[in-house]
């Protein structure tokens, strides 16, 4: 008897649910065990599948790892980006972005996976190539929009155009991850925060507006 349309829909829904379970558990395993410790066997064991059963849901190991990074982006956006459209509002840009950077320091395995796969994906034929190109474009567009709003409000200097600043922030964040993996004492969030401070407009006293505000708060507290 031919498989009914309802049965096909049910089978498809179960497959989607299982794929989501795999990705959610994989995030946990890689965050805990690190990229090197998260073998296909361990990921399969975590969801009660054989290695062949796990890869049934993905065309290759590279596609699995790419899907894990997509899932990580989805989770981080839900947790740290306040806007319903998945974009930083201008006023939330600094603290929201720093929250993401601080969180990255708590999940070294995922940072390792991102860094390793991003290098491999510079090959146009790599299965993750389109993901990284598209991700970078989306991130820069969202960041540039928020930077433009901050420049218009006078919170950030407008001496450099928003798209260029967005690319600079992306480059600094990606480079800091490599430095942090080599030197774990590197303060990634603190360095990004310093970049924001460097981009504050200069006041008549010669300090950035945010720096002056911090000094005012310290004076009021003393």
DSSP 91: G
> Do 66 and 174 lie in a common domain?
yes
Cβ atoms of 22 and 47 closer than 8 Å: yes
Domain boundary among 39, 57, 75: 57
> Do 30 and 70 lie in a common domain?
no
Residue 220: its pLDDT value, please? 40
> Do 210 and 143 lie in a common domain?
yes
> Do 66 and 45 lie in a common domain?
no
> Do 10 and 26 lie in a common domain?
yes
> Do 13 and 78 lie in a common domain?
no
Number of domains in the chain: 2
Q: What's the pTM?
A: 0.79
DSSP 42: H
| Contact partners, residue 94, CB within 8 Å, separation at least 6 | 193, 196
Q: For residue 89, what are the domain limits?
A: 61-221
> Do 68 and 47 lie in a common domain?
no
202 beta partners: 208
> Do 197 and 164 lie in a common domain?
yes
Question: For position 185, which CATH number holds?
Answer: 1.10.357.10
Which tens digits make up the pLDDT trace of 14-65? 668 888 989 999 998 888 877 776 778 888 888 888 988 888 898 888 899 9
Enumerate residue ranges in the chain where pLDDT < 50: 1, 7-9, 211-222
Domain boundary among 57, 75, 97: 57
């Amino acid at each position: 008897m031919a498989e009914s349309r309802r049965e096909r829909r049910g089978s498809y829904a179960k497959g989607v649910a299982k794929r989501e379970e795999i990705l959610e558990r994989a995030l946990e395993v890689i965050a805990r065990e690190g990229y090197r410790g998260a073998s296909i066997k361990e990921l399969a064991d975590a969801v009660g599948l054989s290695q062949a059963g796990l890869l049934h849901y993905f065309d290759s190991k590279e596609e699995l790892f790419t899907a894990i990074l997509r899932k990580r982006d989805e989770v981080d956006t839900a947790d740290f980006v306040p806007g319903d459209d998945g974009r930083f509002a201008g006023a939330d840009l600094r603290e929201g972005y720093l929250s993401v950077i601080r969180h990255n320091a708590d999940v070294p395995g995922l940072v390792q996976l991102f860094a390793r796969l991003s290098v491999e994906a510079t090959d146009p034929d790599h299965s993750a190539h389109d993901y990284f190109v598209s991700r970078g474009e989306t991130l820069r567009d969202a960041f540039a929009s928020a930077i433009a709003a901050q420049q218009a409000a006078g919170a950030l200097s407008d001496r450099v155009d928003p798209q260029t600043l967005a690319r600079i922030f992306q480059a600094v964040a990606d480079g800091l991850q490599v430095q942090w993996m080599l030197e774990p004492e590197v303060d990634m969030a603190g360095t990004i925060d310093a970049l924001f401070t460097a981009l504050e407009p200069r006041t008549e006293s010669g300090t950035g507006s945010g720096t002056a505000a911090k000094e005012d708060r310290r004076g009021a507290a003393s």
